[in-house]
């Protein structure tokens, strides 16, 4: 009965294999958990064996399911990309282009201009900007096809990812409580931060996080890291004096706090953000957006875009 297998059954199998949770899989596929269960049972009947061990507490792949996922997963991904590219070639740049970032400052001061330029050129395509937060690995949004592009801080070192136009390049500051002992200084270096706690985000690429906030000072002193879950939490911890936060000035432009000030850093290089996407994604609308970004960024910025601007109405939570 394998010849009667439907694409939606394979898609459901792959999503449930990734989530191992009926509720989360149903949310991604926009159906009910009972519908997921029904599709999986039908798929297993067609193939003649159990693909999942499921109880009231857990879902796990059987050896047969693991074997099928290894073999069919890459084939399905390629088929899905090919069908999308064929559709876009036939219909042009239409639908929705999805771009994500864990903080609006990653988009740089000209993101709104880029989006408006793209949508003017391609009026049948809308750009949706999503707040990815810190709950999951950032590149996972691309790998699971939940987003087309990310605006990410560099460096990103992943063989599956292409780094596109640079969206921002900013000098470094350290955010401090207004009554912090270092707040009166004209500048500070990383060694001045030894003995204080700094933020750590476990879901960001490790090399990127370590480049942004090194684990050790130049003299070799280790910095104590505190796990944070949101950017807002980080700002409040700074205001309370629990942490200091080496960052970029646009963070405080975007999220000012009366209890937080900043001091320039003397020994940290400028930090850049850029558009990134999966190299295997050859979407027509993705490439059109990258072209629009490159064109905008190659022209002088208008006065209104020379300093970072607050988020806009398109910036949504997931």
* 150-173 pLDDT per residue, tens: 999 999 989 999 999 999 999 999
Average pLDDT of the segment spanning 29-57: 91
Residue 181 CA, distance from chain mean position: 35
Q: Is the pLDDT of residue 304 over 70?
A: no
- Name the residue with tokens 């009947």: 45
What's the mean per-residue pLDDT of the chain?
A: 89
Neighbouring C-alpha atoms within 13 Å toward the C-beta of 31: 16
- Residue 258's CB: how many other CB atoms inside 10 A? 7
| Residue 153 phi, psi dihedral angles, 5° rounding | -75, 145
Neighbouring C-alpha atoms within 13 Å toward the C-beta of 155: 9
Q: Which residue has the higher pLDDT, 108 or 301?
A: 108
Q: What is the pLDDT of residue 105?
A: 95
Q: Which long-range contacts (CB under 8 A, 24 or more apart) does 20-23 make?
A: 20/58, 20/59, 20/60, 20/61, 21/59, 22/54, 22/59
What DSSP letter does each residue of the chain carry, written as one string? -GGG--HHHHHHHHHHHHH--HHHHHHHHTS-HHHHHHHHHHHHHHHTS--EEE-SS-EEE-HHHHHHHHHHHHHHHHHHHHHHHHHHHHH-S-EEEEEEESSGGGG-TTHHHHHHHHHHH-TTEEEEEEE--SSS-TTHHHHTTS-SEEEEESP---TTEEEEEEEEEE-EEEEEETTSTTTT-S-B-GGGGTTSEEEE-TTS-HHHHHHHS-SB-TTSPBPEEEE-S-HHHHHHHHHTTS-BEEEEHHHHHHS--TTEEEEEBSS---EEEEEEEETT---HHHHHHHHHHHHHHTSPPPGGGSS-----TTEE--
Average pLDDT of the segment spanning 186-203: 93
Fold observed for domain 172-269: D-Maltodextrin-Binding Protein; domain 2 (3.40.190)
The model's confidence at residue 312, banded by pLDDT at 50, 70 and 90, is: very low
Q: What is the pLDDT of residue 58?
A: 87
Between 3.40.50.12780, 1.10.1040.10, 3.80.10.10, 1.10.10.10, what CATH number should domain 2-89 receive? 1.10.10.10
Q: Is the pLDDT of residue 269 over 60?
A: yes
Residues 6+ apart with CB under 8 A from 152: 101, 106, 138, 208, 273, 274, 276
| Closest among 229, 114, 243, 234 to 168, alpha carbons compared | 114
* 283 class by beta-carbon count within 10 Å (0-12 exposed, 13-18 middle, 19+ buried): buried
Neighbouring C-alpha atoms within 13 Å toward the C-beta of 135: 6
The model's confidence at residue 53, banded by pLDDT at 50, 70 and 90, is: very high
Note if the pTM is more than 0.75: no
Q: What is the pLDDT of residue 31?
A: 92
Beta-ladder partners of 276: 150, 163
Q: What is the pLDDT of residue 91?
A: 64
Q: Is the pLDDT of residue 313 over 60?
A: no
| pLDDT, tens only, 56-94 | 788 999 999 999 999 998 888 888 877 876 776 666 788
Q: Which two structure tokens, joined as six digits, stand for 299?
A: 């022209």
Q: Are 121 and 91 in contact (CB under 8 A)?
A: no
Q: What is the pLDDT of residue 315?
A: 42
* CATH of the domain spanning 92-169+272-316: 3.40.190.10
Residue ranges, comma separated, of all CATH 1.10.10.10 domains in the chain are 2-89
Average pLDDT of the segment spanning 228-250: 93
Residue ranges, comma separated, of all CATH 3.40.190.10 domains in the chain are 92-169+272-316, 172-269
Q: Which two structure tokens, joined as six digits, stand for 256?
A: 């000012």
Q: How far apart are CA 164 and CA 57, in angstroms?
A: 43
């Amino acid at each position: 009965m394998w010849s009667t297998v439907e694409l939606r059954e394979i898609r459901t199998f792959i999503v449930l294999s990734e989530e191992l949770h009926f509720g989360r899989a149903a949310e991604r596929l926009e159906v009910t958990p009972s519908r997921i269960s029904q599709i999986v049972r039908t798929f297993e009947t067609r193939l003649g064996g159990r693909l999942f061990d499921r109880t009231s507490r857990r879902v796990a792949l059987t050896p047969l399911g693991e074997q099928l996922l290894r073999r069919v997963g890459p084939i399905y991904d390629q088929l899905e990309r090919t069908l999308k590219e064929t559709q876009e070639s036939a219909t042009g740049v239409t639908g929705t282009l999805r771009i994500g970032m864990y903080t609006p400052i990653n988009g740089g001061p000209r993101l709104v201009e880029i989006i408006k330029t793209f949508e003017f050129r391609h009026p049948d395509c809308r750009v949706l900007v999503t707040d990815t937060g810190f709950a999951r690995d950032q590149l996972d949004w691309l790998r699971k096809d939940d987003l087309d592009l990310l605006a990410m801080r560099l460096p990103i070192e992943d063989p599956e990812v292409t780094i596109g136009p640079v969206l921002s390049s900013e000098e470094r500051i350290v955010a401090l409580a207004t009554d912090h002992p270092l707040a009166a200084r004209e500048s500070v270096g990383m060694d001045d931060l030894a003995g204080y706690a700094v933020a750590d985000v476990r879901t960001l690429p490790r090399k990127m996080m370590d480049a942004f906030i090194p684990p050790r000072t130049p003299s070799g002193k280790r910095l104590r890291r505190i796990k944070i879950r949101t950017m807002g939490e980080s700002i409040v911890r700074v205001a309370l004096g629990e942490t200091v936060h080496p960052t970029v000035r646009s963070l405080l432009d975007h999220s000012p706090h009366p209890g937080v000030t900043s001091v320039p850093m003397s020994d940290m290089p400028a930090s850049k953000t850029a558009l990134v996407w999966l190299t295997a994604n050859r979407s027509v609308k993705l490439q059109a957006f990258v072209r629009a970004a490159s064109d905008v960024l190659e022209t002088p910025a208008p006065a209104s875009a020379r300093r970072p601007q607050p988020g806009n109405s398109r910036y949504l939570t997931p």
